[in-house]
Chain A
Amino acid sequence: MDALKKELKENIIEQLNLEEFTVEDIDNDDALFGDGLGLDSIDALELIVMLDKDYGIKLTDPEKSKEIFQSINVLAEYVATHRVK
């Protein structure tokens, strides 16, 4: 699970061009939106595409994405359970 969390952080940094962040800067419990990483609605869409592309997870329910993008811990748990690649 730790390897997946690190991989998710790396993917998020690369995909969202968070050039001022490193993997070490993101705590597993940090809020990804709002006061945490400060991501916006376009970033949320980009993360949905990333889940589809990298893990074969298709999110169609906006409420569900709000729930699973809470933190790296929550996201990793969801990806580990639902990934198809």
Chain B
Amino acid sequence: MVGATPLYSLKKFHVSTKLNIQAWCSVKNGTVSCNGKKIVSTDNEQTFSEFAKQIYKEQQWEYPKFYKMDRLSKLTFMTAEILLNEVTISSEEKEQLAVVFSNKSASLDTDRNYQNSINSIENFYPSPAVFVYTLPNIGMGEVCIRHKIQGENAFFVFDDFNPLFLKQYAESLAQNNKATQVLCGWTEIDEKGYKSFLYLASPNGTLPHTEETITKLYTQS
């Protein structure tokens, strides 16, 4: 076996595992911002569904599956779509792009909808289309399907936005050759409102991938 190439060395990893922040995007209260610039600002009186529909049409995504998604998936999809359209990632790189999302309420927004459809014995019509969204990581899957992302993915539930965890988890993936780039962030929707903030941690970034910077971008968004 002398001279044979070990299988693990055939994987196409970047030499550098140092991550920086390359791009970021946020969606909240009828506003979409990307890399610090407000790109859409709408009437805050709109419901989230009206707002999402408006963004879908304005951005000309032509992806009818969007209409079938639950509110959390729509929020996640919108934010990721705008962010990923801002950067160039090859299909080869997407094989090593990991996704790490988080929020507070998991899929409670849709869980409640589903519960309402099965509360009454007289009116017991559970919706399969609602049921399939009763997990928080489904929106993440929608993003991966749309962009053919094949890296590792994980969804975490925290009481609050947790920049230190995102930083450490993303860096751990990079250092252990599990990913070369990581799409990270927070995507939260409940009865009171919605806010999402996603960023791309990549060797191609220019902003330092530190807890302070992540917090600053999240707060400013």
Contacts and interface: CB of A to CB of B under 8 A. Distances in A.
Nearest to A41: B128
A17 interface: yes
Interface residues of A, number: 13
Contact of B127 (A18, A19, A20, A49): A49
A42 B53 CA distance: 22
A18 B126 contact: no
Contacts of A52: 125
Contact of B67 (A18, A45, A46, A49): A18
B216 interface: no
A53 interface: yes
B203 to A, nearest CB: 38
A25 B201 CA distance: 44
Interface residues of B, number: 10
A42 B134 CA distance: 14
Contact of B64 (A20, A46, A49): A20
A18 B128 CA distance: 16
Interface string B42-56: 000000000001000
Contacts of B126: 49
A20 B129 CA distance: 18
Contacts of B129: 16-17, 42-43, 45-46
B128 A46 contact: yes
Contacts of B125: 49, 52-53
Contacts of A43: 129
Contacts of A42: 128-129, 132
A10 B160 CA distance: 42
A23 to B, nearest CB: 17
A45 B128 contact: yes
**Residue from A16, A42, A53 with most neighbouring chain B CB atoms (10 Å):** A42
Interface string B5-31: 000000000000000000000000000
Contact of A17 (B67, B128, B132): B67
A18 B132 contact: no
Closest 7 CB pairs of A and B: A45-B128, A17-B67, A19-B67, A53-B125, A46-B129, A17-B68, A42-B128
